[in-house]
Amino acid sequence: MMYIFMFIASFIMNMTFLIDSFDFNAHNQHVVHLGHVAEETAAASIQFIEENDYAEGVKIFKYEQGIMQANAILATNLNADIDSVQGNWDYDSRTYTATIEPLAGNYIKDTIKYTITFFDDSNTSYPVLYQNGSFTHAIGDPTAVVIIDTGKPRYRSTFVPKNTKLGAAQTWQAR
Amino acid sequence: MKQIIILIVTIQIIFFFPLQAILDKQNHYKMTNATTIVFTHAQKARIEGRFTPEIKTKMLEELAKYFPRDEIEYTLTEIPKYRLPHYDEGEKIHFEVIVPIKKLLVLGNFWGISNEENKLGYKIDGVVSSELLPR
């Protein structure tokens, strides 16, 4: 009888280890992917610049166009529903805050929250140090910073880590 | 004879857990590397406005270090996309790469899982914006 209990206990312990190890690997994989997506989203949001201002030497982003591009890039790369985007633009802080719902079959299970903050000649005297949680970036030229929060990772154990949150920044360069 | 059969089965069960943990690590390592390779080459494609034959070949060479090259499936934007002064839904570079993961579970045959059921096509797909200016 004791052997049966020992076998069951050993089986449960091993399965717990295996499942947690799998979840850890899957989460790491998600973080790497999310890093790439954050970079691409930031790059997309600085694609467009006001030509008339630029002709006068002032670099100001086309916010609305950049946000549209960023939304499209983020939704496709994170397999989320572009029609579910709910965004709020605050002109004073040049910050766009939005949420988007992941599609079925996605690693992400919670609502994705993201912010895009623009730093350009209309609101910034460089240099500026941007800080948000563990993401810190020194800004010396017109830049967009993207922070994406994909919610709780898919851990089946009770020791669920905090939300997965990553940041990326891209600086506009004249050509 | 009975004891030998029990021993063989017990050894298989005992070895399953460490071997499965190692296999999971290997698979995730390969999948993470594949993601990084594809996104790295998507950056190169952004400069050119598309996946040129050179970028495509280089990406497949890199992926072939981890996966059999002839089993990698892909669909890539190969016609130029441009960075326009305004948002255009069509001007984006798409990519979809499927790499084969040949074994998901160790001792698959022991658990009654066929080789066909025991594999996965891992898909890396996405879209990036172009940096190529129209002439």
Chain B nearest-CA distance from A8, in A, is 12
**Full 3-state SS string of B53-107:** HHHHHHHHHHHCCCCCHHHCEEEECCCCCCCCCCCCCCCEEEEEEEEEECCCCCC
B29 is written with which tokens? 């390592």
Q: Are B93 and B51 in contact (CB under 8 A)?
A: yes
Q: Write down the pLDDT at residue A165.
A: 86
- As a whole number of angstroms, the distance between CA A55 and CA A143 comes to 19
A11 pLDDT exceeds 90? Answer: no
For residue A146, give the nearest of A102, A112, A110 by alpha carbon: A112
State both tokens at B57.
């070949």
For residue A148, list its beta bridge partners: A114, A166
Q: Are the C-beta atoms of A108 and A37 separated by less than 8 Å?
A: no
Specify if B100 maps to a domain: yes
| Domain containing residue B22 | 2-129
List the single residue in B with minimal CA-CA distance to A77: B126
In the block, tokens 């190529």 appear at: B132
Residue A175: pLDDT band by 50, 70, 90 thresholds?
A: low
- Please list every residue in chain B whose beta carbon sits closer than 8 Å to the beta carbon of residue A175: 133
Q: What are the tens digits of pLDDT across the range A41-81?
A: 999 999 999 999 999 989 999 999 999 999 999 999 999 99
For position A174, what pLDDT does the model report? 67
CB-CB under 8 Å, A40 with B126 = yes
Count of domains forming chain B: 1
| pTM of the predicted structure, to 2 decimals | 0.91
